Amino acid sequence: MLVDVSAVSTRATVLGTEIEMPILVAPVAFQLLAHSDGEAGMARAAASAGTVFCLSSLTSMRAAEVAGAAPDAKRWMQIYLFRDRAVTHAMIEEAMESGYEALLLTVDAPYAGRRERDLRSGFQVPAEIRAPAIEAAVGHRSLTTTEVFDLVDPSITWEDLERLCNEFDLPILVKGLITGEDAALAVEHGAAGVVASNHGGRQLDNAPASIDALPEVLEAVDGRIPVLLDGGVRRGTDVAVAVAMGAEAVLVGRPALWGLAVNGEAGARRALEMLAQELRLALALLGAPDPSALTAEHVQRRR
Ligand SMILES: Cc1cc2nc3c(=O)[nH]c(=O)nc-3n(C[C@H](O)[C@H](O)[C@H](O)COP(=O)(O)O)c2cc1C
């Protein structure tokens, strides 16, 4: 209290890049399902918010098309390792040529989780929503969603991460771990950062919340690489808590997607603006003029 908060900034740094707020747009598959603006609209919304847009490898628009539509967006690309490594490589190369600056290797989805609501509703990705980046990488063959998921290699190990880090001159973050042991392995095998994440609770049932896993991940990483977090971030105060605990930034999946579904690019922009405004207010009420002023002293664990 009684800190001058007449000028509060949400600016932060992630992986050495300055961004307007420590809130990134998480990789979310098939965004044309939500709105015809698709990934291009989401990337433009991220650019307006001055933050990083992460493209899913299950994108419904090509990486180059998204880059062309949103040249000002800071772009990262999420990847899976496919059984045919040439497919992964082709996708990474397209991403690099299109100015994507980091890769997120998702490690918590060797298989898709059992999503009971989808099973009950009989949800299927409609045939007109394609995965053009993957289709191009497999030699312009059209693939059903099941065929796309079957391309993912469930046999990958930490050695594959190390190989990938040596093969590509891009920072590679490991997304989807929730234990200190895995975080330490990620550091040892060359990761440039980790995202503490349980895939938004969509993969392993009973997995801990990422915010509860954050302390042990931070302890294991011990400041050697940045730790980010995603899952359940819904308000500016959630962002402040994660950053106060030691996360460099958070990612949001559904909040931005819901915005896109409601009103395309403008809806996603609005969702990100709301988070920015809430974070600014949370910082002011915490007596923190910017996110870097947040410390563990600002949070208290529930007893
Ligand atoms: C509809 C949907 C699709 C997703 N697709 C991907 C994906 O293709 N790749 C990936 O790494 N994560 C994917 N995720 C997980 C998100 O990147 C992120 O980890 C998660 O959504 C964060 O939780 P939140 O939605 O509560 O913010 C997806 C999440 C949702 C909700």
Residues 267, 42: Cα–Cα separation, whole Å: 9
> Does the CB atom of residue 56 touch ligand 1 within 6 A?
yes
Range scoring the smallest mean pLDDT among 127-131, 176-180, 250-254: 127-131
- Residue 167: the pLDDT is 96
- Rounded to the nearest angstrom, the distance between the alpha carbon of 286 and the centre of ligand 1 is 30
> Does the CB atom of residue 28 touch ligand 1 within 6 A?
yes
Strand partners, 249: 228
To the nearest whole percent, how much of the chain has pLDDT over 90? 91
Task: Fill in the DSSP letter of residue 27.
Answer: P
Pairing of the two strands 23-25 and 17-19: unpaired
> Does the CB atom of residue 232 touch ligand 1 within 6 A?
yes
- Residue 4: the pLDDT is 97
Spatial CA neighbour of 282 closest among 4, 77, 10: 10
Residue 279: strand, helix, or coil: helix
Each residue's pLDDT tens digit, 32-89: 999 999 999 999 999 999 999 999 999 999 999 999 999 999 999 999 999 999 999 9
The angle at the Cα of 51, spanning 48 to 56, to the nearest 5 degrees, equals 105
- Residue 194: the pLDDT is 98
Each residue's pLDDT tens digit, 111-125: 999 999 999 999 888
Q: Is the pLDDT assigned to residue 176 strictly greater than 80?
A: yes
Residues 272, 19: Cα–Cα separation, whole Å: 13
Q: Is the pLDDT assigned to residue 303 strictly greater than 80?
A: no
Spatial CA neighbour of 137 closest among 96, 89, 102: 89
Give the number of the atom of ligand 1 that is nearest the alpha carbon of residue 106. 11
Residues 218, 135: Cα–Cα separation, whole Å: 38
Query: In testing the pocket of ligand 1, which one of 28, 254, 272 has its CB within 8 Å of the most ligand atoms?
Result: 28
To the nearest whole percent, how much of the chain has pLDDT over 70? 100
Each residue's pLDDT tens digit, 8-27: 999 999 999 999 999 999 99
Q: Please report which helix (H) or strand (E) contains residue 24, including its range.
A: strand 23-25
Q: How many CA atoms lie within 13 A of 247 on its CB side?
A: 29
Q: Per residue in 200-239, is it b (16+ CB within 10 Å) or e — as a string? A: bbbbeeebeebbebbebbbebbeeebbbbbbbbbeebbbb
Give the number of the atom of ligand 1 that is nearest the alpha carbon of residue 57. 8
Output the residue whose Cα is nearest ligand 1's atom 21: 253
- Rounded to the nearest angstrom, the distance between the alpha carbon of 303 and the centre of ligand 1 is 30
> Does the CB atom of residue 29 touch ligand 1 within 6 A?
yes
- Residue 26: the pLDDT is 98
Q: Is the pLDDT assigned to residue 190 strictly greater than 90?
A: yes
- Global confidence as pTM: 0.97
Output the residue whose Cα is nearest ligand 1's atom 13: 28
Query: Which of the following is catalytic: 35, 89, 189, 199?
Result: 199
Query: In testing the pocket of ligand 1, which one of 31, 173, 199, 235 has its CB within 8 Å of the most ligand atoms?
Result: 199
Give the number of the atom of ligand 1 that is nearest the alpha carbon of residue 56. 8
Output the residue whose Cα is nearest ligand 1's atom 20: 200
Tell me how far apart the terminal alpha carbons of the chain are, to the nearest angstrom.
24
- Residue 227: the pLDDT is 99
Q: Per residue in 118-130, is it b (16+ CB within 10 Å) or e — as a string? A: eeeeeeebeeebb
- Residue 145: the pLDDT is 79
Query: In testing the pocket of ligand 1, which one of 42, 54, 56, 117 has its CB within 8 Å of the most ligand atoms?
Result: 56
Each residue's pLDDT tens digit, 261-296: 999 999 999 999 999 999 999 999 999 999 999 999
**pLDDT band at 144; cut points 50, 70, 90:** confident
CA 128 distance to own-chain centroid? 25
Task: For residue 35, indicate whether it is catalytic.
Answer: no
Task: At 214, list the tokens.
Answer: 């954050």
- Rounded to the nearest angstrom, the distance between the alpha carbon of 230 and the centre of ligand 1 is 9
